[in-house]
Structure formats: structure tokens, C-alpha cells
Amino acid sequence: MDKSKNFIEDINEQTKTIINQIKKETETYEKDEINIFKSGLEKEIDSYYEGELNDLRLQAQTNISQNKLSSKRKLLKIRSDLANKIFNETEQRLLTFTSSEEYRSHLKNKLQKHEVDYQDGFFEVKGIDVGLFSELLKELGLTNEIKIGNIKLGGFRFISLVDHIEIDETLDTHLLEQEAWFMDHSGFIL
């Protein structure tokens, strides 16, 4: 019986050892699987967070771009409104100027400024200035033809087809030049 008892004890010992070994292997396997699962889950979470962060960055950039564009539109409107106001007021002042005695002196000075033989061409003025301009030409001993031109504010244009020249001393052109200069140099740049 001792042998059988020893044999059973041996088998029980070996069984316990095998069971303990299986338990340890199972625990190790479970820990490894759990660690692999946790690691995969952490990577997925990190990837999700990165995707969400990228979406938020993109949305923020889009909002910034839209706000900049909106601000530029508003500034352009303000710039345009201000420039229009300035040049509308200037246009009104020029129209008032063309009704003054100083306008006559202005036209005469502009006529005398150019060293051109005026005999080979004609003048264009606005309709209301034809009488005044005729008087000025007579004072200067000129007999050129005077035509009504597409001139809104005042001044004159001299055209000589013989000499191939055009002199533009219209207030319209000078105002347009000043407006262009103003837009380029006013600091209203966006």
C-alpha cells in the first residue's frame, strides 16, 4: 500500500505542478493578451484624439480665414466709401471752382504753360465753358475751333492731328490721376 500511496501522492504532486504551471501560463497569457489589447486600445485612442485635433485645427484655420476675408471685405467697403466721399466732395468743389473768377485765370495759365503752336489743332471744352474759352482764345490771339467734348468738370483738351499731339488739361483727368495716386499712396492697403 505504501507503493500505491506513494504513487498516488506522486501523481497528485505532478498534477498539482502541472495545474500550477497551467495556471501560471494562463495568467501570463491573460496578462499578455490584456497588455496587447490595452496597447492597441491606447493607439486607437491616440489616433482618434489626433484625428479630432486635426479636425479642430482645420476648423480653426477655416474660421480664421473666413474672419480675415470678412474683415478685408469690411475694410474694402470702408476704404471705398471713404474714397468716394472724398472724391465726391472734391468733384463738388471743382464744380464750384469752375464758376469762380479764379477758374478763368486757371484756364489762361494752362493755355500759356505749353509751348505749342495752337494754330494747327482744335480745343475741346465742356458746353458751358465755350463762351469763356472763346474770350480767352481771343485775348491770346488764337482763332482755333472749339468743340464740346466729353468733359464733366472743366478745363480743356487740345488736339492737333497735324502735329500728332494731345494736351489734356481737363479737371476730369487731373481728378482721376489724383484718385489713382491717392489709392496707391493713401495707406489704405489691405
Residue spans per domain, the chain: 1-97, 101-185
pLDDT value of position 190: 54
pLDDT value of position 148: 95
* 79 CB-contact burial (10 Å; exposed 0-12 / middle 13-18 / buried 19+): middle
Q: Which of 112, 106, 171 is closest to 140 using CA atoms? A: 112
Query: What CATH superfamily is the domain 101-185?
Result: ATP synthase, E subunit, C-terminal (3.30.2320.30)
Mean pLDDT of residues grouped by 10 in the chain (190 residues)? 75 85 87 85 86 88 91 85 88 92 94 88 95 94 93 95 92 92 73
pLDDT value of position 9: 81
Q: What's the rounded Cα separation, in Å, for the pair 62 and 53?
A: 14
**Under a CB-based contact definition with an 8 Å cutoff, are residues 79 and 188 in contact?**
yes
pTM, two decimal places: 0.63
